[in-house]
């Protein structure tokens, strides 16, 4: 039986959940935006900027909703710019450096398949604001997934070099995927309230989908199993601190200013 | 077909030129498959290449601030703007292809140093105020030129400019909005705005090129309507429109001696250092260490494995289809 939660507590939990989802979107969007002017050709500069824009836009929607639940009149920028490394609760996979194009495509495939199923479920959340954000985001993710799947197949089944780069990227990132399917008590509670998504239930479908794409791309799942967790508890890699230092420096240098 | 006599060829060339010029004078567009004089083709190629470099190399200076925007809203606006610049590069590559200038050649000529790009693009973007000043002044100057190019004689070029101008107007507005926020902000923000204005006003005047009496191709370019107004005319338009914009911001004009000339109905600039301006415009490929060019070369080289893989995959797909059909 679901534990009894006071209405005020539920709102606080939902706020924190929305901020987490915002963190996932913002950190990945920030990473993707690093590709602008660095992509293999001009069309990709534009496409990667587009995906980055979708993610940053998504972060803004989650943060704005969280701000509306906040009793302290917070703004979207307060969440993005005035919290430190230990306050961010994004999954670690989002903060990893952009790496080469293979690293980016593999991360996008993992995240896109995950989001495809995640947002599909979140569309049915009892929380109408989250459901509405999920509905809009799911349309974007469908397009992101088409892109990352096609690139995975092209690069996996392209040249010897592209195949090797893709396989290396998979091997290096795989341990970060497990965290996507584990949830802390906050999210479990919100799952019971039909507000959050039960990520453990998505794992089989996610695995089936990604295996099928890897097979088509002549890529293999890694032999070794290692797993790293911590993002949802605010335990991060060193990469996040550097990302935040750059992202937040101007905002923090001039406290209270309008831009 | 009978061989033509040299005289006949000369006559035909002369007739073609006369017909071509009549079309231009009548304001008609030249389309890709039509005959055109070699110097027209050369000038068109030069202009298009320069515009493509400005758009695509121009993505670099601003992209270095995407990670550091002061708000999330500014981040999405700046990203969308840079994305537009890339899109403009693509339209213009499309225009260049209609004039038989392949994209690979444009890139190769950039990398080899054969074709220079404006050294303005190599200026460093130090502060957030610079992002505002670039949108407002540099894009603003470019718009003055591009608006007139909507009526340029080469059809595909003119049509691409119509779309480009719509987006550029948004770019200038976002730059000016950044400046408004800074000018109305704290003392430090105001200082940032004034500093950026002081540093970017003069380079913006360079966008229009050399003074008319030093611009060697200007006459031909205007004869063929590849340029509709002279460099100095467009520069004056920009100078005039910028004065009230600076006043609205409540900032000081970088040209301390600028003053209204009742007779000319234009502002007279006081402090333009024409020698410096000319040397910078002329310097082009040698003014600097060219960090943007180095970056473009590096990124192009880093991406080669992706382009090769794409090609290899396509070839495999074709082969598989052929094998299946056999």
Tell me A201's DSSP state.
Answer: G
Contact A161 B299 (CB under 8 A): no
How many CA atoms, within 13 angstroms, populate the side-chain half-sphere of residue B100? 9
Burial label for A30, CB within 10 Å (0-12, 13-18, 19+), is buried
- Same-domain check for residues B202 and B293: no
DSSP secondary structure letter of residue A191: H
Number of H helices, E strands in chain B: 14, 2
Same domain, B81 and B46: yes
The answer on B50 and B109 residing in a single domain is: yes
Residue B144 resides in a domain: yes
Overall domain count for chain B: 2
> Can you tell me the distance from the alpha carbon of B181 to that of B189, in angstroms, rounded to the nearest whole number?
8
> Do B312 and B209 share a structural domain?
no
d(CA A211, CA A220): 8
Query: In which residue are the tokens 């005319």 written?
Result: B233
- Which residues, numbered 83 to 102 in chain B, qualify as contacts with chain A under a Cβ-Cβ cut-off of 8 Å? 83, 86-87, 89-90, 93
Q: How many domains does chain A have?
A: 1
Put residue B290 in one of left, alpha, beta given phi > 0 → left and psi -120 to 50 → alpha. left
Query: Which pLDDT value is given to residue B281?
Result: 60
Same domain, B259 and B163: yes
Q: Is the minimum CB–CB distance between B234 and chain A shorter than 8 Å?
A: no
B31 and B156 co-located in one domain:
yes
For residue B226, give both structure tokens.
Answer: 């590849």
B171, part of any domain: yes
Verify that B305 and B283 share a domain, yes or no.
Answer: no
Note whether residue B10 is domain-resident: no
User: Which H or E run includes B267?
Assistant: strand B266-268
Q: What is the pLDDT of residue B285?
A: 47
Chain B residue at shortest CA distance from A34: B67
Q: Does A41 touch chain B (CB under 8 A)?
A: yes
Residue at A106 is within a domain:
yes
In a domain, residue B254? The reply is: yes
Q: What is the pLDDT of residues A103-132, one digit of tens each?
A: 999 999 999 999 999 999 999 999 999 999
Question: Cβ contacts (< 8 Å) between A246 and chain B: which residues?
Answer: 67-68
Spell out the residues 6+ positions from residue B72 whose beta carbon is closer than 8 angstroms to its own: A26, A56, A59, A60, A63, A76, A77, A80
- Secondary element (H or E) of residue A238: helix A238-253
**Cβ contact, residue pair A49, B68, below 8 Å:** no
CB-based contacts of A204: which residues, under 8 Å, 6+ apart?
A: none
Q: Closest approach of chain B CAs to the CA of A191, in angstroms?
A: 29
Q: Could you tell me if A46 and B83 are in contact, meaning their C-beta atoms sit under 8 angstroms apart? A: yes
Question: In this predicted structure, what is the pLDDT of residue A74?
Answer: 95
Is B69 in contact with A250 (Cβ distance < 8 A)? yes
Which CATH number characterizes residue B126's domain?
1.20.1260.10
Per CB-CB distance under 8 Å, the chain A contacts of B66 are 33-34, 36
Residues contacting residue B179 through CB under 8 Å, at least 6 positions apart: B129, B132, B133, B136, B193, B196, B197, B249
Q: Is residue A27 part of a domain?
A: yes
Does residue A35 form part of some domain? yes
For residue B133, being part of any structural domain is answered with: yes
CB contact under 8 A, B184 and A258: yes
Tell which residue, B212, B218, B220, B265, has the closest CA to residue B243.
Answer: B265
* Cα B290 to Cα B297: distance, rounded to the nearest angstrom: 11
Residue range of the domain that includes B317: 289-326
Cβ neighbour number for residue B261 with a 10 Å cutoff: 9
Instruction: Note the pLDDT tens digit of each residue in B155-173.
Output: 999 999 999 999 998 999 9
Interface of A with B in 135-164 (CB under 8 A): 153-155, 157-159, 161-162
User: B268 and B321 share a domain?
Assistant: no
Mutation pick from B72, B97, B314 vs chain A, by most beta carbons of A within 10 Å, is B72
Contacts of A3 (CB under 8 A, 6+ apart): A189, A192
B301 and B280 housed in the same domain: no
Report how far residue A164's alpha carbon sits from residue A103's, in angstroms, rounded to the nearest whole number.
Answer: 11
Residues B205, B172 within the same domain: yes
User: Does A259 map to a domain?
Assistant: no
User: Do residues B318 and B187 both lie within one domain?
Assistant: no
pLDDT reported for residue B288: 57
Count chain A–chain B contacts defined by CB atoms under 8 A: 135
Is B234 domain-assigned? yes
Q: Which domain holds residue A144?
A: 2-253
The answer to whether A249 faces chain B, any CB pair under 8 Å, is: yes
What is the token pair recorded at B50?
Answer: 């320069």
- Residues in Cβ contact with B284 at an 8 Å cutoff, skipping those fewer than 6 apart: B116, B117, B118, B119
pLDDT, position A6: 77
Task: Give the pLDDT means over successive 10-residue stretches in chain B (326 positions).
Answer: 60 90 96 95 95 95 96 98 96 96 95 87 93 96 94 96 92 96 98 97 91 88 95 96 98 95 95 72 59 95 98 96 91
B283 shares its domain with B293: no
Could you give the percent of chain A with pLDDT greater than 70?
Answer: 98
Q: What is the pTM of this model?
A: 0.94
Please report which helix (H) or strand (E) contains residue B260, including its range. strand B259-261
B4 within a domain of the structure (yes/no): no
Helix axes A7-33, A42-69, angle to 10 degrees: 160
A258 within domain boundaries: no
Residue B5 lies in a domain: no
Give the mean pLDDT of chain A: 96
Contacts by residues B250-258 (CB-CB < 8 Å, ≥ 24 positions apart): B250/B183, B251/B183, B251/B190, B251/B193, B251/B194, B251/B197, B252/B194, B254/B197, B254/B198, B254/B201, B254/B202, B255/B201
Q: Do B313 and A158 touch (CB under 8 A)?
A: yes
Interface of A with B in 116-135 (CB under 8 A): none
Residue A1 has pLDDT above 50, yes or no: no
pLDDT of residue B47: 94
Does the residue A88 lie in any domain?
A: yes
Give the model confidence (pLDDT) of A45-54 as tens digits: 999 999 999 9
CATH number at residue A207: 1.20.1260.10
Beta bridge partners of B260: B267
In 3-state terms chain A splits into helix, strand, coil percentages (rounded to 5) of 70, 0, 30
For residue A30, give how far its alpha carbon lies from the nearest alpha carbon of chain B (Å). Answer: 7
Query: Among candidates B139, B203, B129, which has minimal Cα distance to B167?
Result: B139
Q: What is the pLDDT of residue B115?
A: 87
């Amino acid at each position: 039986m679901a534990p009894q939660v006071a209405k005020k507590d539920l709102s606080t939990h939902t706020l924190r959940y929305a901020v987490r989802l915002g963190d996932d979107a913002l950190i990945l969007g920030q990473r993707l935006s690093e590709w602008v002017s660095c992509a293999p050709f001009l069309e990709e500069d534009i496409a990667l900027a587009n995906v980055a824009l979708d993610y940053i836009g998504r972060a803004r929607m989650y943060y704005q909703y969280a701000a509306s639940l906040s009793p302290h009149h917070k703004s979207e920028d307060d969440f993005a710019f005035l919290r430190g490394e230990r306050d961010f609760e994004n999954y670690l996979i989002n903060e990893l450096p952009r790496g080469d194009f293979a690293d980016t495509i593999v991360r996008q495939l993992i995240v896109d398949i995950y989001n495809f199923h995640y947002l599909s479920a979140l569309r049915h959340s009892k929380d109408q604001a989250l459901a509405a954000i999920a509905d809009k985001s799911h349309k974007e993710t469908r397009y992101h997934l088409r892109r990352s799947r096609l690139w995975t197949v092209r690069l996996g089944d392209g040249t010897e070099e592209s195949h090797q780069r893709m396989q290396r990227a998979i091997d290096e990132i795989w341990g970060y995927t497990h965290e996507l399917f584990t949830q802390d008590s906050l999210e479990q509670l919100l799952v019971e309230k039909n507000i959050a998504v039960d990520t453990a239930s998505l794992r089989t479908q996610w695995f089936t989908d990604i295996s099928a794409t890897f097979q088509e791309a002549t890529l293999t799942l890694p032999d070794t199993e290692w797993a790293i967790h911590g993002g949802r508890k605010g335990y991060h890699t060193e990469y996040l601190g550097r990302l935040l230092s750059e992202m937040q420096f101007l905002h923090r240098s001039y406290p209270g200013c309008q831009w | 077909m009978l061989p033509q006599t040299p005289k006949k060829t000369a006559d035909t060339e002369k007739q073609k030129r006369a017909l071509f010029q009549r079309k231009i004078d009548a304001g008609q567009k030249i389309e890709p498959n039509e005959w055109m004089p070699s110097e027209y083709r050369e000038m068109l190629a030069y202009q298009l290449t320069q515009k493509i470099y400005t758009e695509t190399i121009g993505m670099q200076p601003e992209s270095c601030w995407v990670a550091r925007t002061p708000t999330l809203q500014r981040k999405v606006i700046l990203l969308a703007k840079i994305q537009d610049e890339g899109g403009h590069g693509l339209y213009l590559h499309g225009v260049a292809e209609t004039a038989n200038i392949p994209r690979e050649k444009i890139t190769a000529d950039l990398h080899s140093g054969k074709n220079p790009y404006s050294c303005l693009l190599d200026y460093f973007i130090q502060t957030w105020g610079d992002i505002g000043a670039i949108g407002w002044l540099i894009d603003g100057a470019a718009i003055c030129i591009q608006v007139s190019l909507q009526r340029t004689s080469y059809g595909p070029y003119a049509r691409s400019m119509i779309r480009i101008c719509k987006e550029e107007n948004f770019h200038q507005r976002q730059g000016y909005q950044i400046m408004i926020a800074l000018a109305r902000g704290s003392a430090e923000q105001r200082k940032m705005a004034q500093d950026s204005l002081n540093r970017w006003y003069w380079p913006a005047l360079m966008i229009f090129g050399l003074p008319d009496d030093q611009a060697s191709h200007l006459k031909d370019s205007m004869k063929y309507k590849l340029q509709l107004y002279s460099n100095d005319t467009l520069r004056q338009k920009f100078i005039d429109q910028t004065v009230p914009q600076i006043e609205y911001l409540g900032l000081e004009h970088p040209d301390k001696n600028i003053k209204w000339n009742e007779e000319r109905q234009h502002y007279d600039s006081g402090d333009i250092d024409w020698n410096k301006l000319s040397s910078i415009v002329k310097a082009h490929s040698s003014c600097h260490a060219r960090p943007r060019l180095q970056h473009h070369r590096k990124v192009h080289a880093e991406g080669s494995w992706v382009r090769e893989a794409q090609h290899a995959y396509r070839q495999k797909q074709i082969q598989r289809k052929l094998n299946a059909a056999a």
